[in-house]
Amino acid sequence: MPNSDLLPSLLLKINENQLALEAAVMELTNWVEQRGSGDVAENVRGALETISTNEEFINMSLAVIMAPD
């Protein structure tokens, strides 16, 4: 298998890892907020918004890269 064939799979796995990390950080954020650190939780959610904002573009790009020729 040529190295260029590995790129789409690699990008898909990196995206999956990113989404899993986002979910884990959100769980921790909820835990922090429940313990009275609302400001910290709000700051984390703001930072995580970048992942959400970019997710649609990433998914569209992966669909193009993964599409059969």
User: DSSP code of 35?
Assistant: T
Determine the average pLDDT of the residues in 32-42.
Answer: 94
Residue pair 14/62 in contact (Cβ under 8 Å)? The answer is no
State what percent of residues in the chain have pLDDT above 70: 93
Q: What confidence score (pLDDT) does residue 32 get?
A: 96
Q: What are phi and psi of 40, to 5 degrees?
A: -65, -45
Q: What confidence score (pLDDT) does residue 1 get?
A: 58
11-25 pLDDT, tens digit each: 889 999 999 999 999
Secondary structure (3-state) at 36: coil
Q: What confidence score (pLDDT) does residue 37 get?
A: 93
In the chain, domain spans? 3-66
